[in-house]
Amino acid sequence: SRKAQKLASVQNYIDLHNSIIQTEKPLDGRKSVIQEAFFKFPMHNQIDLPPEFYITAIQEFYAQHFPDYNVIMTVYHGDELEGKGKKKIGDHPHIFIDCKNKRTGEYDLTEQQAMLANKVIETVDFFKDYDPVNTQKQTYQESQIIGEALQELFYQHINQKFIMENIPIFAIRLEATEENRELRKKIRLESKKPKEDRAFNLYTLKEEQLEEIEKKLEGAEKEIKKTVEN
């Protein structure tokens, strides 16, 4: 009963909000109103860049490719520290986009993204074996393809920014091996769990790093023992 009460409150809020902003056309349940996105360098690359770089990089990307949609907010998540030290890890920006087209009044950002993805599929060699996606309603697999296409554009964008700002980094796509595909599949499934229960989290990463250090230490001890005996 508590859950039903909360859901009713949310629906009431949505109805009142829409009446205040006088939405031109009624929204159906399939339309996205706000979209969140972020980008993050894999931690093992040890990339250390200022917050301004992250924020401007993602804002400029959306301004270039989706100029008809307002950026509601961009936040920088830079408070993840390694252990009790001061070494930052996994810094990244989050951007929140209003899906309402400023020119048409339609909530059509996802459709525009699908159309842009199809242009990438037509022109980028990596996608030569891909079929165009449905621009109105996508399957889960098609939504994954749209994400890959937008990622391809982001690679181009971020590499150009690296060049413009004289940063000696170059972003490349991982080879699409079966092992990588399986790993991504596991990570997607894990993302539905609470952070502390995930197999791919900071805790398990540190466990793996500790195990690797212990192996090196064991090897060093054997070398010392052998040297002493000699």
One-character DSSP codes across 18-62: HHHHT-SSPPPTT--SEEEEE----GGG-----HHHHHHHHHHHH
Q: 190 pLDDT exceeds 80? A: no
Torsion angles phi and psi, residue 100, rounded to 5: -85, 125
Give the residue among 220, 185, 167, 211 at the shortest CA–CA distance from 52.
167
Q: Which of 23-32, 61-70, 118-127, 138-147 has the highest mean pLDDT?
A: 61-70
Q: What is the mean pLDDT of the chain?
A: 83
153: confidence class by pLDDT, cuts 50, 70, 90: very high
Q: Residues 61, 67, 68, 74: is their CA dihedral positive or negative?
A: positive
Q: Which residues are CB-contacts of 159 (< 8 A; sequence separation ≥ 6)?
A: 170, 171
Beta strand 92-98 with 34-38 is antiparallel
Cβ atoms < 10 Å from Cβ of 113 = 23
Could you tell me how many residues make up the chain?
A: 230
213: confidence class by pLDDT, cuts 50, 70, 90: confident
Percent of the chain past pLDDT 70, that is, above it, reads 76
Q: Which of 23-27, 31-35, 173-177, 186-190 has the highest mean pLDDT?
A: 31-35
Q: 206 pLDDT exceeds 80? A: no
The mean per-residue pLDDT over the stretch 28-40 comes to 83
Q: Which pLDDT does position 59 carry in this prediction?
A: 97
Give the residue among 123, 118, 148 at the shortest CA–CA distance from 134.
118
33, 23 Cβ separation under 8 angstroms: no
Both tokens of residue 32?
A: 């996205």
Q: Which residues are CB-contacts of 71 (< 8 A; sequence separation ≥ 6)?
A: 59, 62, 63, 95, 96, 97, 98
Q: Residues 19, 25, 30, 34: is their CA dihedral positive or negative?
A: negative
Q: How far is 41 from 54, CA to CA, in rounded Å?
A: 10
Cβ atoms < 10 Å from Cβ of 71 = 14
The residue that leads in pLDDT, 71 or 186, is 71
Q: Which residue has the tokens 């996508």?
A: 138
